[in-house]
Structure 1
């Protein structure tokens, strides 16, 4: 293979690049086009002690070393094949290689022209290549891992001068727990590639990464209802929620966790879907075996979100179609057709959003105390009669039922995160005694508090 030669003009380019890197690393204002990566340049120089002049090739692991990194991602790699193949069909003619990397920056899967294998190996865009920011400085894979966001690095935006003929775009893939598990990257070795053309490829990479992430989520929660909530505006990835038969949120993708402030503790306790959206249990009584469209009304408001609901996947038997599993896991969050959705429900009447918020906040703070209807009516600024009627219009349940639901939800949290006796938990969340808690707990969740605690251990 004929390796690149450095002419006098290219040496000037390399020298100019090093000068820019060193000045930005020392705190100077970054030149145009470098602002987005200036913090990465500073990390590369100050935190990792890298030299932009270093011409050493990226490390490529041996097959034996690579096996250690590939095996944990075997299932993800298999699930991602369809999206990777479709992406490669689009970018192949432009000379791109596709790299699927683990969370440490090791390339565990590769798509590229076989005849260019020696070229890929020289540049490090090859199976087993190690592209952590700690080792290679600013790059589409390593910087994406550190910053946990889509990253496009075009030519001179790289930290090391050796890489300024490369253009790469990395998009993060988050697991069902919201943590980064992989990066999908497209890389080109083309000094003539325009920044605008490469930016289009970055958008395609992000779309494929989101599809892989959705496929993994749907596979993991295939026995639950999947609610795909379309984003409120273009550009956002949208929310995925896994809902059990009691309408509790069992799983949420990264965007849903961030948007709805859901964490592992709340999910383990079984946060109710109706603590976020207005209650509509008819959604989960439908007998559809395929996707259906709904609109979800955000609790305490007239703001709705279009959503696509996927019923639980049935186990494959002789009586059903074995391809149903493939249909169930197919990504479709990015293709929700809003035009087919029913009109947005309107919460006519009911409490104002401000009054509803005050009532919710009061209940959260005073849940362990005696709360009667007159107290809540006073918080809302209404008579008891008007409050009771308008609260039900807003919440879909009476104030008494709402209080009971909230007390059971708080009891769930305490059962998971504490070892307190059941009697103490019952008193702490506002029930008269352990038996009172057990009756309502079984009625709402179908099991006793003791059974629930045991199931979470």
Structure 2
């Protein structure tokens, strides 16, 4: 309370800023002892259905992450964009502890519901967070350590949060940072797999933006038109943060130019593809294109294409 009421602390600390939101915006009491609200089974089922294939795509990654951290007193949790727990992994020995804390399917861990915590603050600030011990807003959660990363959907919007929470009171901040790195990496893997699944008929192109932003992927259709982009790609290429992107040629976006334009470029591409498929056999390529061998030779000469285009 003293920290929140000070004039400068929230401006210099993200944790303090989250505490202020918890107190002033959400009207929460840091001394409250009630467990997080849980949606009923019908609402939980509806939320799981609304998120579609996201859960099935994420499940193997949750298993892999749990295999790394599960025996150290941690639970692995996947939430929707509202902070409601949709899926979870934990050992039978730790299940009772997490149930008592309210870390279970259907529980609402949004910042509006329980104040500063890994899941809710990650979603509120759209960033990877570590909320350790007394950094939690509610005193009842002060023995927890939570490591979280947001997961973006193919439309650039937040799809959910990936959380690892620890039941060990002696867990160190150094170990938390190690787990946080694994959580962030797993979240990006889920994001990539979800993006690929959203564009099953497109070619997925890794775009080197020159930075360190992860998952810079573009979905390109058969006509070389960009039809989708991950959140990081949207940011790298200024495509707008969310929603449908304006279709544009991949070559324009990636800055590739072979010196040809318009119909000439399309014709050159078609000829090169035909020759490549034919293994350089001009007669076979001509038949595939529906033109005579002599005609194809003339076009190849005009376009500057040799018999072996590779």
In the superposition, the TM-score normalised over structure 1's length comes to: 0.54
Shift of 1:64: 3.0
Q: Is the 8 A contact 1:184 1:209 kept in 2?
A: yes
Q: Is the 8 A contact 2:207 2:254 kept in 1?
A: no
Paired residue for 1:263?
Answer: 240
Runs of 4+ in 1 over 6 A off after TM superposition: none
- Within the candidate set 159, 164, 168, 2:137 is matched to 159
The reply to whether residue 397 of structure 1 matches residue 259 of structure 2 is yes
Q: Write the distance in 2 (CA, Å) between the matches of 1:68 and 1:146.
A: 23
In the superposition, the TM-score normalised over structure 2's length comes to: 0.79
Q: Is the 8 A contact 1:100 1:182 kept in 2?
A: yes
Q: Write the distance in 2 (CA, Å) between the matches of 1:65 and 1:119.
A: 24
1:276 partner SS: helix
Q: Write the distance in 2 (CA, Å) between the matches of 1:264 and 1:184.
A: 21
Paired residue for 1:42?
Answer: 20
Shift of 1:81: 1.3
Shift of 1:75: 1.3
User: Are residues 26 and 241 of structure 1, via their aligned partners in 2, closer, same or farther at CA, if it must alter by over 3 Å?
Assistant: same
Paired residue for 1:202?
Answer: 180
The reply to whether residue 239 of structure 1 matches residue 228 of structure 2 is no
Q: Write the distance in 1 (CA, Å) between the matches of 2:241 and 2:105.
A: 34
- Within the candidate set 51, 54, 58, 2:36 is matched to 58
Deviation string for 1:173-192 (max 9, x for gaps)? 11111000111100012221
* Larger RCO: 1 or 2 (CA < 8 Å, sep 6+): 2
Q: Is the 8 A contact 2:209 2:236 kept in 1?
A: no
Q: Is the 8 A contact 2:94 2:167 kept in 1?
A: no
Q: Write the distance in 1 (CA, Å) between the matches of 2:156 and 2:210.
A: 20
Deviation string for 1:322-341 (max 9, x for gaps)? xxxxxxxxxxxxxxxxxxxx
C-alpha root-mean-square deviation of aligned residues, in Å? Answer: 2.4
Q: Is the 8 A contact 1:225 1:244 kept in 2?
A: yes
Paired residue for 2:73?
Answer: 95
2:45 partner SS: helix
Listed as ranges, the gaps of 5+ residues in structure 2 are 266-310
The reply to whether residue 186 of structure 1 matches residue 48 of structure 2 is no
- Within the candidate set 199, 224, 227, 2:205 is matched to 227
Q: How many residues align?
A: 263
Q: Is the 8 A contact 1:231 1:237 kept in 2?
A: no
Q: Write the distance in 1 (CA, Å) between the matches of 2:133 and 2:229.
A: 37
- Within the candidate set 123, 131, 149, 1:145 is matched to 123
Shift of 1:397: 3.2
Q: Write the distance in 2 (CA, Å) between the matches of 1:48 and 1:213.
A: 30
Where do 1:431-446 residues align within 5 Å?
A: none
Deviation string for 1:386-445 (max 9, x for gaps)? xxxxxxxxx4336xx48xx9xxxxxxxxxxxxxxxxxxxxxxxxxxxxxxxxxxxxxxxx
Q: Is the 8 A contact 2:76 2:163 kept in 1?
A: yes
